[in-house]
Structure formats: C-alpha cells, structure tokens
C-alpha cells in the first residue's frame, strides 16, 4: 500500500470512534499516550527551565544500546526477551551512563557541555544501532519490533505493559508536583538554593531521574529520536501564553496530553505512519499557534501592542505640536483654536509628509483634528481639550525632571506602553503637589522655536 | 603562628586559598570581620571579590583554609546568613513574579514539600514594601527595571532575617532611587547590629557607604576601619598600575573622613 492509498483509505467514522475511545482496543493505547504527554509536558517544563534540554536528548539516544543488550541478555537467559520492564531497565542503565559520561567529560576535560553531549549522543546511538543489528542475527527469539523504540509505535504496547506504564507515569507526576517548590528554586537560582542548604546536586539528580523515567516510558510510543520534542515542545508552547509558572505547568501538561491523544489516535488509524512523528507534529502545530498568538509573549500580541503604542505616541505628538504652534502664534490668553497651515506643523517636529499624513489621518479618525478646505488643519473641540491636557502634562513632567533630575522617581516605569498612563490623573495630581502648581497650563521650561522646530524631548 | 580568630567575629577566614584549574585566584586570605560593621570588599577586576564571597558560602571548593561564622563552620550556621547574588547570575526571563522570588527566602524555614502559605506571602509583601516596590509584587520579573530587580533580591534577603548579609555588587548599574533604598537598608541593618559584607566597585562612594574596608587583590592588601584603611598608599598597592589615573584616587580620597 502506498502512502497515497493510506491516506485515501481514511475513514472519518473510524477516526471519530478512535478519537473518542469507542473501540476498546485503541482505548488503552490512546489513554496511556495521553497520560505520557501530560507527564512529559510537566517534567519537560522543568527540564527547559533548568536549561538542560540537550541533556534530555543525550539521555534518550543513550538508551538504545541498553535495549539491545537487555534483549540479548534476556534471550541468553531464556527469559521472555521482549519483556518491557526488562528492556526499559536496560535502557535506563545506558541512558544514565550516557548522562554520567557527559558530566565526566565536562569535569575532566575543558570541553563545553554541548560538545560533550554531542559526542555521547552520537556514539551511544551508533553503538545502539550496531548492537540491534547484531542481536537480529542471534538464534532464538525474533528481535522484530525492537526498532519501534527508535521511531515509536504505540500499538506495539501490549495490555500488561500499559498498567506498568500508567503506574510509572502516575508516580513521576506525583513526585514532580511534590517537589514543585524545590524544583522552582533549583531552576531559578541554584546558587542561592545551595547557600540555603538545599542539596542542589540531589535535586538535579531527582529531576534527571524523573526525566529519565518519562523518556524511557515514552520510548515505545514516541521513539527515542523524537521523545525530546515531546518533553520540550509543550513546555515552550505553554511559555508563550503565560508568565506564571503554575499556569505554564498546567498548560504544558494539557498541550502534551492533547498532542499525545491526537497523535496516538491518528496513528491507530494509519498504522503505516510513524506515531512518534505524528505526535511531535501535533505538538509542533500547537507550538506554532502559541508562538504567533500566545497572549504573554506571542508574536502577534507583541506586534499589536507595539503598533498601539506607536499610535498613541503619534497622537500625543500631533496634538501637542498643534497646541504649541497655536501658543506661539498668538499673543492673547487664553489662546484660541484657529486653523494652522500644514507646513508649520511639519517643520515643528521634522515630520516627513507621509508621516504627518498618517498621524493626521489617525487623529481625524478619533475626531481630534479637522481638515479645512483651504488645506489647513484645525483641532476639533474635543481635540483642543485633549491637546491642552497633553501639553500641560508634558510640561509638568519636564519640570519635575528638571527639578528632581538627581533622584529618579521610583514610580517611573520603564515600560514604554505606560507613557500615556504614566501621566494618569493621580500622577498629575502628585506632580502638581510636588511642583506647587495650580495654573491651568504652564509655560514650557524650554524655548519652543516653531520656525526651526528645535525642541528637547525629555519624555520620549 | 596561627592568627587569632575568636568566635565573637561574625566572619573569620583563616588561610583561605582558592584555585581554578590550578591557577590560584585567592591566596592565603586571613580576615576578621567585626560584629555590626558595614564592610566593603574593594579591588580591581579579577581580584577575586565575588570568589571570596562564594568560597565563604561553600559555592566553590576551597583549596585550603577554613571559614568560620561565629566560630563555627558555615554548614552549622546557615540560618544566620543571607546571600544577595549578582543580579546577572539568574535568568530574569523566568516565569515568576517579584513576590514568588521573595518568597524563596522563606523556603528554608518552610522545609521540604511544604507549600507556601499566607504567612510566607505576607512576609514577602512586607519585605517588598520595605524596599519600596510593594506595588510591583505581582509583576513578572522580566518586566522590572534593573534597579527593581536588585531590590527584589534585597527583599528576598530581608525575608531570610539573617545576622550576616553577603552581597555581591548590589550597587552595580542601579538607578539613583535604588541606590538610596540600598543605603537605607544597609543603615537599617547597621542600626540593628547586623553585619554586612558587600562587594563594591566604585571607589568614589566607598567611604560614604562602608565603615569597614577590605582591600583585595588576590590577597588581602589591607583591612580595617575605612578611616584608617582607605589611604592613597593602600589603594596603590591594591590597584597597582591599573589605577594610573591619580585623579581618581584624589577624588576618592577627598571623601575620606566625611
């Protein structure tokens, strides 16, 4: 059957049944891969925050020789050579050996960790492939199916293994939740943790033990090449949505579970496609969506916030400039709202024609500026009020900076999007009190030269 | 002859040597820091200032020597010590709030597996209030300015309620308001009889901030009350050719005795 016919044979009703666990046979497979995803998301979050993602990769690749050796040993001893606990025990041993080797190389040579990991990862994997080839030639039990550990095949799990898998996952999840506080401290500031008497080495070992458990348990479903993606992708996707660690852990677990569920369901239907790849692709799609739309750090929300800020700043500038021109061209007080020529406005702030047209368009859409048939522009009634408020706040702020420049006010936020809120009613009142001013509009502390547009800009 | 290190000293260092890859960074350090002092550790770049703090706190292995906290090894006296690491030593992109970081100062007393409760959060809020950023408690730490981040670290040390405070360059690259907040905090510690050991890099402010001074350049060049230790001769010995701008020294010395 070619790939095309695999996809063509897609049966929607069957898909539905599988997705919602209607058939008993797939139910346990899908449930265990979903649980695996949740555990991987949770523990992967800490692996990511500890900045040890690559170590997880080295670990998973280093499990392969263990699987081959365990198979050969159990076969030689006349046991069931494909007993899952036995194979996974072998995987764990060589996996940990790989990590220890990375640490040893880092300690004894001056190689950096990434180089050490690269070496261990490839050597162990190569060794594993060679051993698998050799055990295939052994007489006795068939080694067919061992390669499912490389690419993953959830369907190859047999019923008795699933209970074992679920128990291990439950234990690791529980341990991770129990050590939430300790792991958080370790990941954020290990030195501080150490001065406080926390055994950071033990905590690191515990964390790696949990990662090892999830990796090894996940080998059969996802395969050792892709298991690292299952650990890391949900965590990185979750990070785009929140700045809160607890929320991130929950989200990562959910994203992991959903990818596992989708991946296992699809691969149950299309057994020719490698399950690990489908699971990882499902996770990657969620990652992509999160990267673009994630509320906390996604690309799109960031872009929108930036554009919004640009619009606000532009609006403030045009209103203030217009007001300043009105002030400079009139003798009388209070000043009157008269039309002014565009040229004057453009010179005032060195705006290019295009820039000016854009900010004016925005101000017009907010009903702050009207365009006269003569080509001049004029503030609307609400625009005039807004312009005098903005100008006044700007000058209060300038005066404050000039007077207290030696002590930066602690409530000044560097967040640029606060520019407008910065001078909210409360702060304006504080500024007035500070500066002992009650005048409706204060004079600018510096000279505004309308002709040349020379002007200092302390706030922007 | 073994120099005296009586147990009434909050910090006594005897014959401390630290080496990285067999290259010594600190040589034969002998140091007594008296009770209730604000002690500054000053020296050129690469003099081993941070290393000295880290060696005292067992963060890096000692090649030889011992460090005593009130006459006992550090492991037995952890409750008496608070550590403020360099601000750059952690990832400020970490998904926690200012309050979460300060609460970490209570973890030791809380112990294994126990959850943070109301009491711990309340203590942390008070500490943030004390360093003047109570209103930023729930903000994510990457959205704080450098000075505010430094204050979060100070608040965490406050929550630890220690007797000796080890601070690594708290004044580095902070705004004037934070500098003022740190000075007030130091004076507050001083008034309560606590001891502060602070790595510092700005010679111009040494005599204003600290009443005790340790001049370090791989070994202790001089240590004692600032009024006696902060001299042209000692500074030249510490900085050697690196302080060739005599004006800097003159400027720094002008502040002596203020």
- Distance in Å, alpha carbon of A302 to nearest chain B alpha carbon: 14
ipTM of the predicted structure? 0.91
Please name the residue of chain A whose CA is at the shortest distance from the CA of residue B135.
Answer: A411
A195/B59 touch (CB, cutoff 8 Å), yes or no: yes
**Structural domain range at position B57:** 11-89+161-254
Rounded distance between C-alpha atoms, residue A306 and residue A312, angstroms: 10
B83/A197 touch (CB, cutoff 8 Å), yes or no: no
Residue A369 counted as domain residue: yes
A229 and A145 housed in the same domain: yes
Tell whether the model's pLDDT for residue A407 goes beyond 60: no
HSE on the CB side for A8, CA within 13 Å? 5
Residue B231 counted as domain residue: yes
Q: Which residues of chain B neighbour A243 with C-beta distances below 8 Å? A: 95, 97, 140, 142
- Kindly compute the dihedral angle of the four CA atoms of residues A407, A411, A413, A419, in this order, to the nearest 10 degrees: -100
Q: How sure is the predictor about A421, in pLDDT bands with cuts at 50, 70 and 90?
A: very low
DSSP class of residue A453 equals: T
B112/A188 touch (CB, cutoff 8 Å), yes or no: no
Residue A459 counted as domain residue: no
Task: Please check whether residue A83 is in contact with residue A74, taking contact to mean a CB–CB distance below 8 angstroms.
Answer: yes
Please name the residue of chain A whose CA is at the shortest distance from the CA of residue B138.
Answer: A244
B residues 23-82 closer than 8 Å to A (CB): 54, 57-59, 75, 78, 81
A152 and A177 housed in the same domain: yes
- Closest partner CB to A189 (pick from B85, B142, B180): B85
Say whether residue B142 is in contact with chain A using an 8 A CB cutoff: yes
Least confident of A271-285, A423-437, B211-225: A423-437
Domain count within chain A: 2
A269 and A122 housed in the same domain: yes
**Structural domain range at position A36:** 3-297
- Distance in Å, alpha carbon of B195 to nearest chain A alpha carbon: 17
A242 and A310 housed in the same domain: no
Tell whether the model's pLDDT for residue A165 goes beyond 60: yes
A191/B89 touch (CB, cutoff 8 Å), yes or no: yes
A355 and A416 housed in the same domain: yes
Q: How sure is the predictor about A23, in pLDDT bands with cuts at 50, 70 and 90?
A: low
A179/B59 touch (CB, cutoff 8 Å), yes or no: no
Rounded distance between C-alpha atoms, residue A179 and residue A81, angstroms: 36
Residue A28: other Cβ atoms inside 10 A:
19
B69: domain CATH number is 3.40.50.300
Residue B137 counted as domain residue: no
pLDDT of residue A273: 78
Q: How sure is the predictor about A155, in pLDDT bands with cuts at 50, 70 and 90?
A: confident
A326 and A181 housed in the same domain: no
A241 and A284 housed in the same domain: yes
The partner residues of B40 in beta bridges, in order of sequence, read B198, B213
Please name the residue of chain B whose CA is at the shortest distance from the CA of residue A411.
Answer: B133
A39 and A84 housed in the same domain: yes
Tell which of A250, A277, A297 closes a domain. A297
Tell which of A251, A270, A297 closes a domain. A297
Say whether residue B20 is in contact with chain A using an 8 A CB cutoff: no
Where helices occur in A240-365 by DSSP H, the ranges are 245-269, 275-293, 299-329, 342-349, 353-365
- Distance in Å, alpha carbon of B236 to nearest chain A alpha carbon: 32
- Distance in Å, alpha carbon of B108 to nearest chain A alpha carbon: 6
Say whether residue B257 is in contact with chain A using an 8 A CB cutoff: no
Rounded distance between C-alpha atoms, residue B202 and residue B187, angstroms: 18
Rounded distance between C-alpha atoms, residue B12 and residue B69, angstroms: 7
Per-residue pLDDT of chain B (258 residues; tens, 9 = 90+): 455 667 788 999 999 999 887 788 898 999 999 999 999 999 988 889 999 999 999 999 999 999 999 989 988 999 999 999 999 999 999 999 999 999 999 999 999 999 999 999 999 999 999 999 999 999 999 999 899 999 999 999 999 999 999 999 999 888 888 898 999 999 999 999 999 999 998 888 888 899 999 999 989 999 999 999 998 888 888 887 655 555 555 556 665 544
Instruction: Quick: pLDDT tens for A352-366.
Output: 778 888 888 888 888
Residue B156 counted as domain residue: no
Residue B27 counted as domain residue: yes
B96/A184 touch (CB, cutoff 8 Å), yes or no: yes
Say whether residue B139 is in contact with chain A using an 8 A CB cutoff: no
pLDDT of residue A316: 82
A287 and A374 housed in the same domain: no
Q: For an interface test with A, which of B95, B130, B162 has the most A Cβ atoms less than 10 Å from its Cβ?
A: B95
Rounded distance between C-alpha atoms, residue A394 and residue A387, angstroms: 10
B107/A196 touch (CB, cutoff 8 Å), yes or no: yes
Tell which of A248, A277, A297 closes a domain. A297
Residue A3: other Cβ atoms inside 10 A:
10
Q: Before B226, cis peptide (omega within 30)?
A: no
Say whether residue B113 is in contact with chain A using an 8 A CB cutoff: yes
Q: How sure is the predictor about A94, in pLDDT bands with cuts at 50, 70 and 90?
A: very high
- Which bin fits A448, alpha (ψ -120 to 50), beta or left (φ > 0)? beta
pLDDT of residue A54: 86
Rounded distance between C-alpha atoms, residue A186 and residue A204, angstroms: 8
Tell whether the model's pLDDT for residue A455 goes beyond 70: no
Instruction: Quick: pLDDT tens for A24-38.
Output: 667 778 888 899 999
The partner residues of B223 in beta bridges, in order of sequence, read B214
A291 and A388 housed in the same domain: no
Question: How many CB pairs lie under 8 A apart between chains A and B?
Answer: 90
A418: domain CATH number is 1.10.10.10
B85/A245 touch (CB, cutoff 8 Å), yes or no: no
Q: Which residues of chain B neighbour A188 with C-beta distances below 8 Å? A: 90-91, 94, 96, 101, 104
Where is B197: in which H helix or E strand?
strand B195-200
Rounded distance between C-alpha atoms, residue A238 and residue A258, angstroms: 13
Please name the residue of chain B whose CA is at the shortest distance from the CA of residue A241.
Answer: B95
pLDDT of residue A439: 57
Q: Which residues of chain B neighbour A414 with C-beta distances below 8 Å? A: 145
Q: What is the CA B247 to chain-centroid distance, rounded?
A: 28
A106 and A41 housed in the same domain: yes
**Nearest alpha carbon to residue A222 among A43, A453, A459, A32:** A32
- Closest partner CB to B177 (pick from A51, A196, A410): A410
Task: Please check whether residue B182 is in contact with residue B232, taking contact to mean a CB–CB distance below 8 angstroms.
Answer: no
B83/A244 touch (CB, cutoff 8 Å), yes or no: no
Domain count within chain B: 1
- Distance in Å, alpha carbon of A178 to nearest chain B alpha carbon: 6
Rounded distance between C-alpha atoms, residue A165 and residue A218, angstroms: 9
Instruction: Quick: pLDDT tens for A363-405.
Output: 888 888 888 887 788 888 888 888 888 887 777 776 666 665 4
- Distance in Å, alpha carbon of A110 to nearest chain B alpha carbon: 10
Q: Which residues of chain A neighbour B116 with C-beta distances below 8 Å? A: 181
Q: What percent of chain A has pLDDT over 70?
A: 80
């Amino acid at each position: 059957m070619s790939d095309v016919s695999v996809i063509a044979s897609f049966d929607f009703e069957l898909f539905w049944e599988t997705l919602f666990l209607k058939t008993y046979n797939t139910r346990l497979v899908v449930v265990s891969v979903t649980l695996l995803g949740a555990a991987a998301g949770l523990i992967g979050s800490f692996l990511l925050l500890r900045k040890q993602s690559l170590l997880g990769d080295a670990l998973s690749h280093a499990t392969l020789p263990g699987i081959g050796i365990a198979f050969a040993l159990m076969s030689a001893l006349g046991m069931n050579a494909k007993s899952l606990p036995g194979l996974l025990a072998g995987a764990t041993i060589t996996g940990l050996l790989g990590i220890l080797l990375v640490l040893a190389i880092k300690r004894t040579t001056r190689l950096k960790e990434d180089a050490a990991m690269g070496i261990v990862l490839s050597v162990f994997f190569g060794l594993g492939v060679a051993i698998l080839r050799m055990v295939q030639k052994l007489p006795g039990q068939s080694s067919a199916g061992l390669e499912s550990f490389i690419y993953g095949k959830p369907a190859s799990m047999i019923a008795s293994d699933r209970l074992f898998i679920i128990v291990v996952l439950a234990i690791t999840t529980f341990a991770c939740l129990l050590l939430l506080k300790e792991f958080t401290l370790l990941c954020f500031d290990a030195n501080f943790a150490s001065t406080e008497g926390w055994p950071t080495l033990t905590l690191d070992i515990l964390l790696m033990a949990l990662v090892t458990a999830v990796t090894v348990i996940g080998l059969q479903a996802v395969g050792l090449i892709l298991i690292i993606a299952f650990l890391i992708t949900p965590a990185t996707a979750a990070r785009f949505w929140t700045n809160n660690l607890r929320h991130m852990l929950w989200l990562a677990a959910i994203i992991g579970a959903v990818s596992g569920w989708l991946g296992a369901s699809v691969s149950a239907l299309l057994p020719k496609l490698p399950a690990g790849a489908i699971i990882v692709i499902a996770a990657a799609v969620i990652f992509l969506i999160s990267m673009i739309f994630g509320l906390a750090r996604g690309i799109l929300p960031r872009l929108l916030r930036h554009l919004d800020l640009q619009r606000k700043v532009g609006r403030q500038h045009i209103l203030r400039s217009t007001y300043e021109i009105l002030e400079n061209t009139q003798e009388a007080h209070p000043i009157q709202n008269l039309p002014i020529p565009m040229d004057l406005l453009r010179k005032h702030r060195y705006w290019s024609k295009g820039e000016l047209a854009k900010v004016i368009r925005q101000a017009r859409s907010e009903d702050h500026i009207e365009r006269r048939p003569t080509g001049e522009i004029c503030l609307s009634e609400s625009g005039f009020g807004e312009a005098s408020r903005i100008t006044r706040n700007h000058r209060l702020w300038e005066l404050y900076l000039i007077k207290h420049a030696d002590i930066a006010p602690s409530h000044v936020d560097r967040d640029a999007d606060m520019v407008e809120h910065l001078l909210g009613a409360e702060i304006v009142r504080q500024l007035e009190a500070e500066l002992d001013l009650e005048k409706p509009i204060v004079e600018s502390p510096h000279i505004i030269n309308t002709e040349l547009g020379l002007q200092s800009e302390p706030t922007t | 002859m073994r120099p005296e290190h009586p147990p009434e000293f909050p910090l006594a260092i005897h014959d401390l040597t630290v080496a990285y890859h067999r290259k010594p960074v600190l040589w034969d350090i002998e140091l007594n820091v008296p009770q209730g002092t604000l002690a500054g550790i000053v020296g050129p770049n690469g003099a081993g200032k941070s290393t000295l703090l880290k060696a005292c706190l067992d963060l890096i292995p000692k090649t030889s020597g011992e460090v005593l906290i009130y006459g006992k090894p550090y492991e037995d006296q952890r409750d008496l010590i608070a550590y403020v690491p360099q601000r750059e030593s952690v990832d400020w992109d970490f998904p926690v709030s200012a309050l979460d970081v300060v609460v970490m100062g209570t973890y030791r007393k809380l112990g294994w597996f126990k959850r943070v409760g109301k009491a711990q959060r309340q203590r942390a809020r008070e500490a943030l209030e004390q360093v003047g950023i109570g209103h930023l408690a729930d903000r994510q730490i990457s959205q704080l300015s450098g000075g505010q981040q430094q204050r979060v670290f100070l608040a965490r040390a406050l929550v630890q309620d220690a007797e000796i405070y080890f601070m690594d360059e708290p004044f580095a690259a902070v705004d004037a308001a934070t500098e003022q907040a740190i000075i007030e905090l130091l004076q507050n510690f001083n008034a309560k009889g606590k001891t502060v050991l602070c790595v510092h890099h700005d010679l111009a402010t040494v005599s204003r901030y600290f009443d005790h001074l340790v001049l370090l350049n791989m070994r202790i060049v001089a240590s004692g009350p600032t009024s006696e230790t902060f001299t042209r001769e000692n500074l030249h010995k510490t900085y050697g050719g690196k302080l060739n701008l005599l004006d800097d020294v003159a400027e720094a010395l002008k502040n002596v005795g203020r």
